[in-house]
């Protein structure tokens, strides 16, 4: 007994794959012109395909403005179906890729140099052992990489957990703690004031994000000590380099706990004041496109990362 979705309906659906691709690209870019550039066609061709799809669905997918910065705005209906369509095309792309390359699954994960080197790489062998069928690709960079088809599947980011258009999953709460090489403090430090005798290393990697990131001034204020902003120190704009400077004995840094956990465990670094952490409203998050967790390799990585982070 044939179901309500007849063969004719299925055939018509297949005929509209080109229109669906045009719609998905236009919705992602918010522009017919940008979508046309991606698809190597004209903007008029993209617009025409979208209108064909709208006629078939019997509803509008975009609100079109004749002027202004934003001339193409997805409707509520368009925003509702976009994640499913994007994931659908990603499934098709991966299926074709697996046939061409002879591999079952691939997963691209992007993260900063510091997070990969100090948290992910020491643990990633566990994921590979659990999922030998998944080819893992690491995009290691301190710039923000786009998450989505043709880019990274999953990102590991530091912040407050809000990135428009992405699903964000809390991975690690991360406070700030003073750390240094064992040789720097000798027998130890009796009070926070003694830190002022050492070079203070400042992590300024977030200085350009338009926000004030808590640093040494905030930590000393928590201890009831005023730190002059003009005080000499070492400012470094990459967390990985901050840790390397501390390991080399160049000074004391206010480090993100997750990035120095392995160095603390091995004894390469020490906590002069283990009970005096500076709590922030930021942490490490796992992000992916809405609906991407339906991909088995994404779901597998999310489950593994959450389990490892939970200890």
pLDDT one-digit tens code per residue, 183-223: 887 656 778 888 888 899 988 886 545 455 688 988 999 99
Write the CB contacts of 37 (distance below 8 Å, at least 6 apart in sequence). Answer: none
Alpha helices in the chain (DSSP H): 7-15, 17-29, 32-39, 43-57, 76-101, 113-115, 124-130, 182-185, 216-222, 239-247, 257-266, 296-309
Spell out the domains of the chain, with CATH numbers in brackets: 7-98 (1.10.10.10), 103-174+283-309 (3.40.190.10), 176-266 (3.40.190.10)
- Residues 263-291 have pLDDT tens digits of 999 999 999 998 899 998 889 999 999 88
Tokens representing 86 are 């994007």
- In this prediction, residue 10 carries a pLDDT of 46
How far apart are the C-alpha atoms of 80 and 65, rounded to whole Å? Answer: 21
Q: Express each pLDDT in 110-163 by its tens digit.
A: 999 999 999 999 999 999 999 988 989 999 998 889 898 778 999 999 999 999
Q: CB within 8 A of 245, min separation 6: which ones?
A: 201, 234, 236, 251, 253
Rounded Cα distance between 62 and 208, Å, is 35
Identify the band that residue 1 occupies on the pLDDT scale cut at 50, 70 and 90: very low
Using one digit for the tens of pLDDT, what is the confidence trace for 34-68? 888 888 888 888 888 888 888 888 888 888 776 65
Would the pLDDT of 108 be above 90?
A: yes
């Amino acid at each position: 007994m044939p179901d309500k979705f007849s063969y004719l309906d299925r055939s018509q659906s297949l005929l509209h794959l080109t229109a669906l691709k045009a719609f998905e690209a236009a919705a992602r870019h918010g522009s017919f012109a940008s979508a046309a550039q991606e698809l190597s066609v004209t903007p008029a061709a993209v617009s025409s395909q979208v209108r064909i799809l709208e006629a078939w669905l019997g509803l509008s997918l975009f609100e079109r403005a004749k002027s202004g910065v934003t001339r193409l705005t997805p409707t509520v209906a368009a925003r509702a179906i976009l994640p499913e369509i994007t994931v659908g095309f990603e499934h098709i792309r991966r299926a074709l890729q697996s046939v061409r390359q002879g591999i079952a699954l691939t997963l691209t994960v992007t993260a900063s140099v510091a997070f990969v080197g100090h948290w992910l790489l020491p643990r990633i062998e566990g994921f590979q052992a659990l999922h030998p069928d998944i080819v893992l690709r690491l995009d290691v960079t301190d710039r923000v990489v786009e998450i989505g088809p043709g880019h990274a599947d999953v990102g590991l980011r530091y912040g407050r957990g809000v990135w428009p258009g992405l699903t964000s999953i809390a991975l690690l709460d991360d406070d700030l703690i003073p750390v240094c090489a064992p040789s720097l403090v000798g027998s130890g430090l009796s009070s926070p004031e003694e830190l002022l005798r050492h070079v203070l290393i400042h992590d300024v990697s977030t200085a350009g994000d338009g926000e004030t990131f808590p640093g040494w001034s905030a930590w000393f204020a928590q201890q009831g000590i005023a730190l002059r902003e003009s005080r000499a120190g070492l400012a470094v704009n990459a967390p990985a380099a901050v840790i390397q400077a501390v390991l080399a004995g160049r000074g004391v840094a206010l480090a993100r706990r997750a990035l120095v956990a392995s160095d603390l465990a091995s004894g390469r670094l020490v906590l002069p004041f283990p009970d005096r952490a500076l709590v922030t409203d930021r942490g490490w998050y796992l992000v992916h496109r809405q609906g991407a967790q339906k991909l088995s390799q994404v779901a597998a990585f999310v489950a593994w990362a959450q389990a490892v982070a939970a200890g």
